[in-house]
Structure 1
Amino acid sequence: MRNQYDLVVYSNLSVTPHMRRIKLHGESLKAFPTGQETGYVKVDFSKDKNTKIMRSYTIRAFDPERRLLTLDFVDHGDLGPASRWARQAKKGASIRVFGPGATKLLDPHADWYLIGGDMSALPAIGANLEALRADAKGYVIVEILSQEDQQLLNLPTGMEVIWLIQEDSDPPNKQLVETIRAVNWLPGRVYPWFAGEFDGMRNMRAYFRDEKNIDIHSMYLSCYWKLGATDEGMKRAKRIDAESDLEGTNIQ
Structure 2
Amino acid sequence: MLELRNINTYYGRIQVLHDICLHVEQGEIITLIGANGAGKSTILMSISGIVPPRDGEILFNDISIARMPPDKIVALGLSQVPEGRHIFPELTVAENLDMGAFLRKDREKIRQDLDYVYTLFPILAERRHQPGGNLSGGEQQMLALSRALMTRPQLLLLDEPSMGLAPLVTQQIFDIIAQINQEDNTTIFLVEQNANLALKTADRGYVLENGRIIMHDRAERLLGNKDIQKAYLGI
Q: TM-score, normalised by structure 1?
A: 0.32
Q: Which has the higher strand share?
A: 1
